[in-house]
Chain A
């Protein structure tokens, strides 16, 4: 199977998308052993870095950040190496702010520097832990819809997969689910 077919399968989305995700994952999972050897990390850690890299590649393909200048293999290998380096950096530094997720970095990166500094200060580890905890309290359906959105599925696809009447209904439901977490976060928010 060519790169183009995997990319098309991912972009086409729908219920078949996981098949192409799994194809991408399993095609290069021998990188995990290379990660262990090259960076002297455990196979579990290398597996985590590889999974994280595959997820990044999938999302970059979906949002057109992957411009096919290199092969998927080269692209994935490069991101995987960087994830391994990030992992080692997180382990070897005591500075808390190094432990920042790629999503957080990317979203903050969209803000101008003056706004970014303010928002960055408001994101602390305690609140992140609380958000994660509340994600476990909002019910399976809510968690599912939020995870599908985070995984790059459109509201249209979510409506089809979860049998909502329309993309609008899926969107409203999704925002209400987020609002549920927001309500639970109220005591933390007032600590700003």
Chain B
């Protein structure tokens, strides 16, 4: 969150300020302290309680959030204006370590040449990729699992209704790579609603992406025991085992993949393909 360090205590009690202004500024400071996580546990609870019981105070909190949001929009516009210069060629690309005089000697022509060079390099890469493609086709199951994690588990679809319950918020954190926050929310939802299989699945998925394999296996174990249509727990546990790669993991992962295919469970298409290419 922006506004990282407020340092010293601000003194708002200066002569000439009306009592109303002092109270309002102190209130804004109090609200700011909450969002900067500077309040103690009891103070935090009191703040949250006031949001529920004191409508006027809730209005002030809503104002604070609105103003920070509006400021962020304005900030983004400012940054866009600054960065748009790179897009229309007014500004040479920045070169760290050079002073502005040296840096500005980079002409657009050089930039174009660099881009051409980049295109040639890209074309060469395509040719090389075609040559070594067969090697890629023989990826190990571990590699396949890795690719699956980075391609299929990179984001979670959100509902379109814009609702922001904790699960949806957790998804938003997941999609913006704020995994610790996502885990806290998914854990909270699942603890409160043990029948929410999505929360458990997303929790395991986040742990998997974070490479917390042992924790992810516990989550997927629990998920695989649930009575749910096309249970994803078994397949995701197999993926996690392949990623963890301990001595017996490969053997167990294979058994699970076979189970996925036989039961036509979630991930059966990938599992069938991986088993097909599996070499002992």
Hey, which bits of chain A sit against chain B, CB under 8 A? 1, 5, 9, 18-23, 25-26, 29, 32, 47-48, 51-52, 54-56, 59-60, 62-63, 65-67, 69-70, 75, 78-79, 81-82, 85, 89, 93, 95-116, 118-120, 122-123, 127-128, 131-132, 135, 143, 146-147, 149-156, 166-168, 171-172, 175-176, 178-179, 181-183, 185, 189, 192
Q: Which residues of A contact B161 (CB under 8 A)?
A: 95, 98
Contact status A109-B12, CB under 8 Å: no
Interface size on B, residues (CB 8 A): 80
| A63-B2 CB under 8 A given contacts A19-B96, A128-B66, A135-B70 | yes
Check B48 against A107 for contact (C-beta < 8 Å). Answer: no
Classify the secondary structure of A's interface with B. Answer: helix
Nearest B residue to A89, CB-CB: B160
- Can you name the residue of chain B whose Cβ is closest to the Cβ of A189? B59
With known contacts A63-B1, A119-B58, A178-B28, A103–B69 Cβ distance under 8 A: yes
19 contacts between A and B (CB under 8 A): A32-B87, A63-B4, A69-B210, A69-B211, A78-B155, A79-B176, A81-B154, A98-B162, A101-B73, A102-B72, A104-B66, A135-B67, A143-B74, A149-B2, A168-B7, A171-B8, A179-B24, A182-B60, A192-B58
A65 to B178, CA, bound (A): 6
- Residues in A with CB closer than 8 Å to B154 are 78, 81
Q: Which of the candidate stretches B76-84, B128-136, B137-145 sits at the interface with the other chain?
A: B76-84
Stretch at the interface among B165-173, B234-242, B246-254, B266-274: B165-173
Docked CA distance A98–B4 (Å): 28
Across the interface, do A168 and B51 meet the contact criterion of CB distance under 8 Å? no
Q: How far is the CA of A21 from the CA of B64 in the complex (A)?
A: 27
Residues of A within 8 A of B71 (CB): 135, 146-147, 149-150
